[in-house]
Structure 1
Amino acid sequence: MPRPRLTRVNQAVPQTVGPLGRALAAAFTEGDFLSDGLAHSVSSDTAQQDKWTAARLEYKTAQAILELEAWVAIPADAPFPDDEVFPGAVMLLAPPGVEAGDGNAKNAWYAAYKEATPAETQKIYDQLLTELADLENAAVPGGAKATYHIDFIGTPPVARKQGLASALLRHVLDRADRDKVIATLVTQTAGNEAYYTRFGFKTQLQRQLTVNGETGTIWYMVYTPGTQPSYPKDEEEEEDDDDAEAQAFVARTGTVGHDHGHDHDHSHGGGCC
């Protein structure tokens, strides 16, 4: 099976931020007690909860594009989309030595997120971030600043079982191997913990957390360079540098580059906050 097409998104515009943020929101709908706890603190109305979740993930997507890295994967035979429904996987990645700051604090997505966030929700969110920072520092002394840290990775239901998230993971782990730098992520379900183990991640620490009455387990996982399991060579193919559809997508949405990943199976969502 041809490997999925990977593209890094490098411009925060409505044609990229909206579809990718909504794709992540659709991915995090099963077993995500952190997002559920936060959303329930916003309102008892599910429409308001969904609106807040979309605003938060669109803001996180814009932040990654502007300050970190945002990557997408779509099936090899699919056209690069620029419509309301994004049929692929999304990954927000913090590479070594790069942190998100306040450089984008005045962009439209940040403003929409802040407007949609009640004071009590922000208080709960800030407490959660403190607890997650404590977990990170316990799992990786000095925190994740010197690692490839996967903030979010997810595939909406419509795009699952095509190896898209696997391709994004392989891309990160190939870079970790090349640079001899560990990769890290956080997940919230036993199924995803088992899934990431297949790629060479190991649970460094796990802890129970409660967010606005929602309780669950957090797994902090670490990948050591050079420990990727092997994969069949017939999954490889040459990169097509003359990809007219990809270049048209670049022209429309401000993305740059395209790469190929490795085809595996899955995925739901991983990472947080």
Structure 2
Amino acid sequence: MPSPTLTHLTDPTSALLAPTAAVLAESFNPAEDPISGIVYAGIPDLEGFTALRFRQRLYDAVERLQVVVAEADGAPGAVMIVNPPGTMDDEPGPTPYSAELEAQTPPEVVAARNELGDALHKFEANAFGNDTYYLSFICTAPSARRRGLAGALIRSLVAQAEAAGAFVTLTTQSDENVKYYSSFGFRVIDRMDIVSRGLPMPFIAMTNRPAA
């Protein structure tokens, strides 16, 4: 199987932004993603809200962080968003979608999102520190799965971190994902249940830093 084309997105006005945001929104559909399903429950047009949320998230990430797309059939098939070293404590900036997203977000959703975000940030800061390449998001469009796209993205990030003398960290939620990331040299270093809206959600911290 030929290696997929990897493209770093650095321009928030790129024509690739819309289809890449669509990959994120489809992959983290609240009907299938447990975190989104809990935190954003009760929003009337959840599909439209999710699409807007990821347009906003991607625009901000392209401006501040690192976004890499793996192409499938000439279109974005998989995407990863990475916090480079020193950026874990940075606050998101305003985007052209911020005002609309804020207007569509009910107070109870804001509270649930902030509760989860604060707890997850503390968990990750304790597990990882601020000197790693943190794999914030990685996903593959359903139509492009089983082609090795996510694996190509992970390997490229590991190589980048190695060249910089650093390591890669991530959080995941299932033992199935733990097994997948372990195949790339990652190991579990911490686990925690974070409660949002009264429901516990498991988070598993992993790194490719060798054990001491």
TM-score by length of 2: 0.90
Supply the distance in 2 between the matched residues of 1:198 and 1:15 (Cα, whole angstroms).
Answer: 34
Instruction: Tell me, yes or no, if the aligned pair for 2:120 and 2:194 is still in contact at 8 Å.
Output: no
**RMSD (Å) for aligned C-alpha atoms:** 1.9
Match of residue 20 from structure 2: 20
| Larger RCO (alpha carbons 8 Å, 6+ apart) | 1
Which of 153, 156, 159 lines up with 2:138 in the alignment? 153
**Map 1:20-169 → 2, pairs under 5 A:** 20-29=20-29, 32-40=33-41, 42-43=42-43, 45=44, 48-75=45-72, 78-79=73-74, 81=75, 86=76, 88-99=77-88, 100-102=90-92, 104-105=93-94, 107-140=95-128, 143=129, 145-169=130-154
Aligned length: 208
3-state DSSP of counterpart to 2:85: coil
Distance 1:214 1:50, change over 3 A: farther
Give the deviation of 1:52 after TM superposition: 1.9
3-state DSSP of counterpart to 1:15: coil
Gaps of 5+ in 2: none
Distance 1:128 1:121, change over 3 A: same
Q: Deviations over 1:72-93 (max 9, x none)?
A: 0014xx32x3xxxx4x001111
Give the deviation of 1:213 after TM superposition: 4.5
Gaps of 5+ in 1: 226-273
Q: Deviations over 1:192-245 (max 9, x none)?
A: 1110111011111111223224433111111127xxxxxxxxxxxxxxxxxxxx
Which of 199, 206, 215 lines up with 2:191 in the alignment? 206
Supply the distance in 2 between the matched residues of 1:164 and 1:223 (Cα, whole angstroms).
Answer: 19
Supply the distance in 1 between the matched residues of 2:17 and 2:103 (Cα, whole angstroms).
Answer: 18
Larger radius of gyration: 1
Supply the distance in 1 between the matched residues of 2:24 and 2:177 (Cα, whole angstroms).
Answer: 16
Which consecutive aligned stretches of 4+ in structure 1 deviate over 6 angstroms post-superposition?
Answer: none
Distance 1:10 1:68, change over 3 A: same
Instruction: Tell me, yes or no, if the aligned pair for 1:33 and 1:215 is still in contact at 8 Å.
Output: no
Percent of residue pairs bearing the same amino acid type: 30
Supply the distance in 2 between the matched residues of 1:51 and 1:119 (Cα, whole angstroms).
Answer: 18
Which residue identity lines up with residue 59 of structure 2 in the other structure?
A
**Map 1:245-264 → 2, pairs under 5 A:** none
Instruction: Tell me, yes or no, if the aligned pair for 1:209 and 1:215 is still in contact at 8 Å.
Output: yes
Match of residue 7 from structure 1: 7
Supply the distance in 2 between the matched residues of 1:206 and 1:31 (Cα, whole angstroms).
Answer: 22
